[in-house]
Amino acid sequence: MVNYSPALDRLFLALADPTRRAMVEQLSSGPAPVSELARPLPMSLPSAMQHLGVLEAAGLVRSEKLGRVRTCSINAATLSLAEQWINARRQDWERRLDRLGDYLSSIEDKEDHDESID
């Protein structure tokens, strides 16, 4: 079954680029003005702004203009969506490994039992 989630599509697509991940990395440590966010990046300010737009559209970053300075901050709740999706997968495969473990134990028990009968 396909669970359509345009929010997850946009979120994972936004994270699929090293520049955008660098922005999320920096903003996770605290808000920053756009100029400061763009300065370490090997690209023009307009290119950096484009990446920022993708992050904002995905809801990962919020920006607010105070006077002449636009300051960006991380939206942790959106990153949690990705975390939740991955955690759910981990739970699935851990449950599966548990079942596999139970099955292998039951075979071992059966073999022990069979041997004691022989």
Q: How many CB atoms lie within 10 A of CB 53?
A: 12
CB of 55 to its own copies, least distance (A): 13
CB of 109 to its own copies, least distance (A): 23
Is 4 a binding residue for its own copies by CB under 8 A? The answer is yes
Cα-Cα-Cα-Cα dihedral sign, residues 74, 79, 81, 87: negative
Q: Distance (Å, rounded) from C-alpha 116 to C-alpha 10? A: 60
Nearer to its own copies, 3 or 116 (CB): 3
Is 35 a binding residue for its own copies by CB under 8 A? The answer is no
Residue with tokens 């345009």: 6
Element spanning 84, H or E = helix 76-117
Element spanning 31, H or E = none
Binding mask 55-94 for its own copies (x = CB under 8 A): -------------------x-x--x--xx-xxxxxx-xx-
Query: Which positions touch its own copies (CB under 8 A)?
Result: 1-5, 8-13, 15-19, 21-22, 24-25, 28-30, 40-42, 74, 76, 79, 82-83, 85-90, 92-93, 95-96
